[in-house]
Structure 1
Amino acid sequence: MIHGPSLGIGAGIASIVIIVIFLGFQGSQPELTIEPAPEIQESGSSKITMNTFLANGSPILGNPNAPVTLVEFGDYQCHFCNVFFHSTEDQILENYVKTGKVRMIFKDYNIIGPDSVTASHGAHCADDQELFWEYHDILYSNWTGENNGWASSENLVKFAQEVGLDLDEWSECMNTQKHAQIILTSNEDAKSLELTGTPAFFVIGPDGKTTRIFGAQPFEVFENIFETELGKTK
């Protein structure tokens, strides 16, 4: 478990908050845990397929044909998600994503509060204008805590302006909650994978082997797993 203040509330928030009119538009980190992900199940009540990892998320960042995939389940209000963004993500991007070795996908797991879901909507509406990752980055760059108002409706509009979005189109998307189902399904994917906190990562190798990493681990942890998986392509 990674995110103490978030635990126990994730199950209800995603299904309840998703129906809110979103914009009125009117601790210490635990020890490293690396383990195999749940096996892909072809049948059953909680079926896990490759789509559980890859669908209902962000556009791919990096080479779509990269041999290794990194999937992050995160909450924009999550403290340790923000730690990962500032301390580790840039090194992953420079060394693996920009070099075509790893592709990255972000998926929503909204477990902190209503602003988490609203922020997710902002990012997906930005995706309609091909600016998902720019909006994702500006959200984490402006993080100041949990449930303290930094992801308010007013601020989300300001962020949209700063990344150069067409505000009329973006606001219409927000008003209609266009991407509510994607966000809700992403949360359901996280729960089917039995995630209890954020951030949580899955590294999928060229052979389909999936390794789960909990928490804002240092770059070296990701590097070791990436190199192991990349070694299978040689």
Structure 2
Amino acid sequence: MESDSDDKLPSFFLNDSKNDQESLDAQKRINKTESNETLSDIHTTKVVRSTNRIHLPSLAIGAGIAVACIFCGVLMVNMINSETTPVLAETPQKQTEITKTQSLSVFTDNASPILGNPNAPITMVEFGDYQCTFCSKFFHETENSIITNYIKTGKVKILFKDYIILGQDSINAANAAHCANDQKLFWEYHSMLYNNWAGENTGWADLAHLHEFANTLGLDMDVFSTCMSDLKWNELVNLSSKDGQKLGVSGTPTFFVIDQNNDVVKIVGAQHYDVFKQIFDSVLDE
């Protein structure tokens, strides 16, 4: 049975020799302060071309993870969400054990700018790879409904974190999105990537196309090209993937839903909108 997430561990980390700590610090400040992203046109342009309280002792890391089913009895979710490892049926899990040294910063550091109201009661963090088949499936089939019903209404905010599993084009695409963020267009570029998705390692996310996408969005191409050639955000992308490993991410997409008490629910795979809706509504009704 085919699953709905790319269930692979990254087999490499990025070359961080050319990265600049000041850039990382600047990005972290952006994550904490930038939130007024435009929501109306996020799912647009396609280039025409051929082609717990985690409780803070609550995020399970390593062995000895104790998980408890949550939210109103039996929410059986078809987590057949891994391309290589079929999982028949599981419930979303609340992370109930966490090493005491772990903090919520593992979710918010090395991430995108916030999409939505920074004061929204629910935070959803997605770990994804821009070439991932099921990340694209989530984007096209589920995310827009979440944006319409929960992001625009101020109930949920989203952060995206890179979890690289599919090679160099994925690394370059992740860097390109952060380079676009230097010009305040992260989410527009994020959408551009998924709207031009054409499979895994087929060439659609090579450097030439990444520059084409930037040009289509009207980015300053000199600034963008310098950012890309300098590998400005390589270290941030690398650290984001490491954050995913710390959290036990083994495939993409993987989501963490965090409520105001810092309780965390982990959702694996490109689940149907109703799965997210039930979790969001359960939190909002508490």
Task: Indicate whether the TM-score tops 0.5.
Answer: yes
The structure that is helix-richer by fraction is 1
Structure with higher Rg: it is 2
Gaps of 5+ in 1: 21-27
SS of equivalent to 1:226: helix
In the TM superposition, residue 230 of structure 1 has moved relative to its aligned partner by: 1.1
In the alignment, is the contact (CA less than 8 A) between 2:130 and 2:194 conserved in 1? Answer: yes
Length-normalised TM-score, structure 1: 0.87
The answer to whether the Cα contact below 8 Å between 2:136 and 2:194 also exists between their aligned partners in 1 is yes
Identity rate of aligned residues, in percent?
Answer: 46
SS at match of 2:222: helix
1:164 deviates by 1.5
Cα deviation for residue 32 of structure 1 reads 5.0
Q: Structure 2 matches for 1:16-31, cutoff 5 A?
A: 16=14, 29=81, 30=87, 31=89
Q: Which residue of 2 aligns with 1:66?
A: 120
SS of equivalent to 1:189: helix
> Paired residue for 2:191?
137
Distance 1:76 1:166, change over 3 A: same
Q: 1:121 aligns with which of 175, 178, 190?
A: 175
- Secondary structure of 1:76's aligned partner: coil
1:97–1:121 Cα change, 3 Å = same
Question: Which residue in the other structure is 2:216 paired with?
Answer: 162
1:214 and 2:268 are equivalent in the alignment? yes
- Native 8 Å contact 2:138 2:270 kept in 1: yes
SS at match of 2:194: helix
Deviations 1:187-219 (A, max 9, x none): 000000111100000000111100000000010
Aligned pair count reads 217
Correspondence for 1:176 = 230
**Structure 2: runs of 5 or more not aligned:** 19-79, 82-86
Q: Using the alignment, how far apart are the partners of 1:32 and 1:88 within structure 2?
A: 20
Aligned partner letter, 2:133: H
Q: What is the aligned counterpart of 2:92 among 28, 34, 45?
A: 34
| Distance of 1:33 and 1:214 partners within structure 2 | 10
Aligned partner of 2:145 in structure 1 is 91
Deviation at 1:64, TM superposition (A): 0.5
Runs of 4+, deviation exceeding 6 Å: 17-20
- Which amino acid in the other structure matches residue 37 of structure 1? Q
d(CA) in 2 for partners of 1:35 and 1:107? 20
